[in-house]
Amino acid sequence: MPAFLSAAAVLLACSILSARVKTPGTPSEWWKKAVFYEIYVRSFQDMEGGGTGDLAGIISRLDYLQDLGVDAIWLTPCFPSPQVDFGYDISDFRAIDPLYGTLRDFDRLVRECRRRGIRVVLDLVLNHTSDQHPWFKASRASRRSPKRDWYIWRDGKGEADPPSNWCSLFGGSAWTFDHATGQYYYHYFYQQQPDLNWRNPAVRREMVDTMRWWGRRGVAGFRLDAVDNLLEDPALRDNPVLPGKNAFGDPNMETRHNYKLKENHGILRQLRQVADQDGLVLVGETYTTSIDELQSYYGTNGRKGLHLPTGYMLAMEKTLTADICRRHIAEMETLRGWPVWTLGNHDLPRAVTRYGDGVHHDAIAKVLGALVLTLRGTPILYYGEELGMGNNDPRRKEDVRDSLGALGWPNAKRRDGARTPMQWDAGPAAGFTHGTPWLPVPADAGLRNVEVERKDPGSVLNFYRRLIALRRESPALREGGYQDLNPADPHLLTFARTHGDERVLVAINLSAETRKLTVAAPALAPAASRAKVRLATAGDPEGPGLPETLEPYGVVVAAFPQPERGKLVPGPTQYEDARRIAGILGGCPPSPSAPSACPSW
């Protein structure tokens, strides 16, 4: 927006457009106002000294999460497992792995979370089981086993020739030959993770019963893993082969026949019906490439899909600029569903490492927090992001714990670096364990940890705490309308959030240089000069008014005072300014001669 437009016109445009704000629905839709926090259970807190995190450790840190402002914790799988894929190979869906504790520990965790106003969301792997699950053991025992059709067994095309050319995401063929029964079984991931046959109604019933079983234990919902893999082409047609090879040496191919089949959405709609009946929320692991594709996971034609499909479109960007961010925000604002904002998870390199420049580490960590916590939708944080934790990648192949990283070494070190222990203090193992941690603690843990950052008012941790608290008390930040206030600025992302009479301005400098803040600057109008800074990375300036500049990767969040009743009476010039602003924002405010000219109102 040109700097010469009056702040009064900005306020007028925001007032007009706020009539179209999308607000959360029924009180039961708690997840629309919640801050989610992913806990990689192995790496959060170890109470037993074995070097691996456990449920008792999470319980011991619930006060920290409550103080941070977390509303829901997403636990990575803690079911019994051979740990080939660190818990994503499940051998019993209705128990807790002794590595992490017991069902009694889990029940206590739910109770303690409830006392603090925190909900528990479980990571549920629908697509596959471990090859050590009793179902698969029965299935491979005989071709006539009642469980045979619970998995996908097929004859090969010929001797030593699998049923199709499909490749595993983790390298090699997606088919493994079973000598005992003379057939191949299908696995999209490791061969120790055979895919369930979701075309079998018995499988669907069992997984629905599992969801309800955990729901009765107090779980608030599920993060559904690998929902794009539930169904495969029953004809097993070969995938088209593309030029080149991947990191595992397999031919590149278009996964047309065993990934993202449209039929998957029918299953998700059925699961949504169950979830709504039982008051559960469904978060979906979805990686989408367009807003239309993301929209399909919410449901179509009145048929509801997932509550919160993750999409990860912003997280897949290699760089974050103001233009890239505003494009994603504008697209997300068109969704017919509740947006999800997240930049990290246990499968991705940590966001501050991906987007860092090696110089402004903490400042960039704060920018990333501001991006997900000041937009309409549900933010999902990954443990340690609030500290500015970066990747700690293994330096030698023999140090790799993730077998996927060993397979791809050194071109694809994969996931160990983003899964290192939570950094609690400057002591041995960063306070994570009194034993030897399952992954090494980063060298900067002595300076970047909860104990140190709590004492530093300017730390990443205290920035997150204050911003989450501000979000909690601000309907505008949680659910208000969005207006881009400076769409031509390549460096500053500046926008207004509006809800009723509340007006909040957010400005984020996505560059490594100090930039002038020209939108609604103090000298433009009395309203702007009386704006109150609620949060700023440079420290809250003394007195009212916005700062004139933003430091490299700086953030400011400010509240505008409401115009006194009867004081904001738009004349022709103010109407023109408001129309120009709303034109930038995509609105259609009235003119003095045609006050109801916009039919969408």
Q: Are 451 and 431 contacting, i.e. CB atoms less than 8 angstroms apart?
A: yes
Structure tokens at 433: 């364990």
Cβ neighbours, 10 Å, residue 49? 10
CA distance 189 to 171: 8
Whole-angstrom CA distances from 81 to 86, 90, 129, 185 are 8, 5, 9, 20
Q: Which residues contact 94 (CB under 8 A, 6 or more apart)?
A: 79, 210, 213, 214
CA distance 345 to 312: 10
Could you say which of 97, 285, 331, 386 is catalytic?
Answer: 285
Look up 159 and say whether it is catalytic: no
Q: From 326, 287, 282, 289, select the one nearest 305 (Cα to Cα).
A: 282
Q: What is the DSSP string of 524-536?
A: T-HHHHT-EEEEE
Whole-angstrom CA distances from 260 to 254, 256, 296, 547 are 11, 8, 11, 48
**Side-chain half-sphere of 553: how many Cα atoms within 13 Å?**
20
CA distance 6 to 525: 6
CA distance 130 to 486: 52
428 three-state secondary structure: helix
Strand partners, 504: 497, 559
Structure tokens at 179: 């000598």
Look up 206 and say whether it is catalytic: no
Could you say which of 54, 105, 131, 225 is catalytic?
Answer: 225
Please give the positions annotated as active site.
225, 285
